Structure 1
Amino acid sequence: MPDDDMTSEREFNERNIEEFRRNGGKVGGQFEGFPLLLLTSSGAKSGAERVNLVAYFDIDDKIYVVGSAAGRDESPAWVFNLRAHSHVQVEIGAEPKRPVVARELTREDRDRIYRIIVERAPGFGEYETRTDRVIPVFELVADN
């Protein structure tokens, strides 16, 4: 991705993160009405704190996030961060930041959960057709 694309994407993310925090977890525009959380992770290589606005799914009282990258051939950077450092923090709605552990689902569990995700948000089915990679799904479990 060219540098100016990276800059504009970073600025877009920062604006949405600010809006999320200002509005108790709500973001308008293309994200209107979609359940979102802020995921704070450590950079896989740098170890630097990274904050990402991520869609989530509450399925059977468990929280899942999907590394779809809208069907691009590479997973979003936060996927690599979670694989390197599974202890992360989330903000959901107006709740304060809380620690969780990101557990990547096995292929069998991922396929079962992904079917439910596609039922709820059909765009994720389209993302899957755009790439040859298996789109990863992580469960976020309370870090006690």
Structure 2
Amino acid sequence: MTDQGERDFNERNIEEFRANGGKVGGQFEGFPLLLLTSTGAKSGAQRVNPVAYFDIDGATYIVGSSAGRDRDPAWAFNIRAHPDVTVEIGADGPTAVTARELPREERDSVYEVIKQRAPGFAEYETRTDRVIPVFELMRA
């Protein structure tokens, strides 16, 4: 998918998410998605991305899988530079959170649970040599 094609795809999903109280159909049907608003690492512009999330043991996590591409998604670079972000979950309005990238040992443990819940993430891991990052979203 081209960068423009990916932007258009994300825009359609963002509109559908907001119009349907956090629900998105198609390939995301029934999958827990949130809208992540981050500040561009270089541009400083606000960026909104639909991102899968996982509630595990009372914590909320997002995964920079980029569908197994060899590069982290742009939002991962953004939140490393500016960890104060907002998320929209379901019909709830934006909530301020701080993103914390998990250190390797903690990441590996959480990623095992993620792969059990969503086997596609195990496949993503086989497509790339990079360590797929996991971020915890902590209420500000």
TM range (shorter): over 0.9
Matched residue SS, 1:113: helix
For normalisation by structure 2, the TM-score amounts to 0.99
Aligned equivalents of 2:5, 2:64: Cα separation in 1: 20
Residue of structure 2 equivalent to 1:20:
17
Match of 1:110 among 102, 107, 111: 107
Match of 1:30 among 19, 27, 31: 27
Aligned equivalents of 1:7, 1:111: Cα separation in 2: 33
Matched residue SS, 1:9: helix
Aligned equivalents of 2:16, 2:121: Cα separation in 1: 24
Q: Does 1:44 align with 2:41?
A: yes
1:7 to partner: Cα distance = 1.3
Paired amino acid for 2:22: G
Structure 1 unpaired stretches of 5+:
none
Residue of structure 2 equivalent to 1:142:
139
Matched residue SS, 2:48: strand
Structure 2 matches for 1:1-144, cutoff 5 A?
Answer: 5-143=2-140
Q: Indicate the percent of aligned positions where both proteins have the same amino acid.
A: 72
Matched residue SS, 2:7: helix
Aligned equivalents of 1:114, 1:7: Cα separation in 2: 30
1:9 to partner: Cα distance = 1.1
1:91 to partner: Cα distance = 0.2
- For the aligned residue pairs, the C-alpha RMSD in angstroms reads 0.7
For normalisation by structure 1, the TM-score amounts to 0.96
